[in-house]
Chain A
Amino acid sequence: MTLQTAPPTTTDKRVRARALIEAARESITASMKRQGRELIMGRKSIVPAPTKK
């Protein structure tokens, strides 16, 4: 039996791309935090704010 799934819509792709980029960004900043590294913003240095789940 072959499973047939509908191709993703434009909205699906948009939502998925946003979620993937956000997940990658969160993972990078979490990794930086674990290692005691801060993200330097412009002329200031801040700890990246935790993202709401």
Chain B
Amino acid sequence: MASVLGLTDTAAEISGEIADAVDIDAAVEIGFVKRAYRRGTAGIRFRTAAWKFLRPQEPHWDDLKALAKSVGADHMNLPAFCGRLRDECNEIVREHSDLKRWVCRRLALLDAVVVSRKLDRSRRDEVFALRNALSDCTELLVTDPAEATYLSENLCQAAILGAGNAVVDAIAEVAGLNANLMFSVPCGYRVSGSAERLANQDRADRLWQNVGDHTHRLVVLAESTGASHVGFWVPVIPSGPGVRLPGATEAIAGNASLVLKEDLPPLRGFSHQMESDWEAYMQREFNHDLFLSLPVRVPGRSTPVAVLNVNVNVRQETKRHWYRAYGAYWTRQAEEYAWEFLDLALRGMMLVAQRSAGMPALDCGVPRPAAAMLLPASTEVTEP
């Protein structure tokens, strides 16, 4: 440790002698001189660490220990080091406000070490109730299909709201939220139903009229109560070098995608007209502070089967915490927290799709309930 701190062996010996003289156990281990050195140089060492941390090459989890060692702070435990480094980064933001967004993105990694966010305990009760309701809905599909469909729609709405709430549990506080589920369908599919759904579809038609060729689109087919996005769609365009459409399109390729209204990510590989259409749409029509698109993965499938969008309004003081969603650690945790609700929503959607006119054929890794397989006739009790 002495060499790491730049102390000479002599200095280390002296500190040991001092510690012996004052006969304090802790002083024997650390040493008065070392402690004085650490205190005296902490400011410059952590400022150095902060600038190293903010360099263009994005640091990874494993780099944090090496960073601590490089500035002689490896005697600290990692959360304490990261907490102090976070304070120093915030200090840099105070001095250089232009760097705020850059620093906020980087803080996602430090927050992953320092901040612990937990799923609300009530999620377990909610999932349990919805799972039992799903079981009843599945059985009702035989005897009362209209009611089964109606209840399944309600179940989906509750499950999607639960998923959105779980995502917020995982990442940061919000003032308000709603959520929706998008599914991939061929371009020829058109929603039917209420005027609101048709208007959402028309809005998307106008927005993406210059996007170019694509064979599939992601359509909002279910949402939390009253969110009013069903019918809206985005094109499915394979991302690659030089091509990027943030949001659900990115999520269906397997990468969570955060879109902050005040810090819009760039579109890549599209015409200037398309870029300006999208920016104008986000500024004028998108009435939330941000949205997070998460891939919905099911076991046995190599690619996501749907996309969960969580639309969020944030309070000014917690806005910067949402930059965490640029970090894979946070979005993986969000996917994990939301998973049980998403599983329920997918199964509910399959029940809805079974009976509802105008629903596309969904392939989301969940078996379509076949009426003949639902319930043996002998166990069903018909009402008098």
Chain A contact residues, CB within 8 Å of chain B: 6-11, 13-14, 16-18, 20-21, 23-25, 27-32, 34-43, 45
Contact = CB atoms under 8 A, between A and B. Distances in A.
Given A36-B173, A40-B176, A40-B177, A20 B129 contact: yes
Interface of B: 120, 122-123, 125-126, 129-130, 132-133, 136-137, 139-140, 143-144, 147, 151, 154-155, 157-158, 161-162, 165, 168, 173-178, 224-228, 287-288, 311, 313, 379-383
A28 B227 contact: no
The binding surface of chain A is classed by DSSP as helix
3 nearest A-B residue pairs (beta carbon):
A17-B136, A20-B133, A38-B176
A52 B381 CA distance: 32
Nearest to A47: B176
A7 B227 contact: no
Nearest to B151: A17
A32 B140 contact: no
Contact of B225 (A34, A37, A41): A41
A17 B140 contact: yes
Contacts, number: 122
Contacts of A34: 120
B147 A14 contact: yes
Contact of B383 (A9, A40, A42): A9
Contact of A13 (B126, B129, B136, B379): B136
Contacts of A25: 154, 157-158, 161, 225
A34 B382 CA distance: 43
A11 B380 CA distance: 12
B224 A27 contact: no
Given A10-B382, A14-B151, A27-B125, A41 B144 contact: no
A42 B226 contact: yes
A28 B161 contact: yes
Nearest to B312: A40
Nearest to A8: B381
Contact of A7 (B126, B132, B154, B381): B381
Contacts of A17: 133, 136-137, 140, 151, 155
Contacts of B176: 37-40, 45
Given A16-B133, A31-B126, A36-B175, 17 more contacts: A7-B380, A10-B140, A10-B382, A10-B383, A13-B139, A14-B147, A17-B136, A18-B151, A24-B130, A24-B133, A27-B126, A27-B129, A38-B177, A38-B313, A40-B288, A40-B311, A42-B227
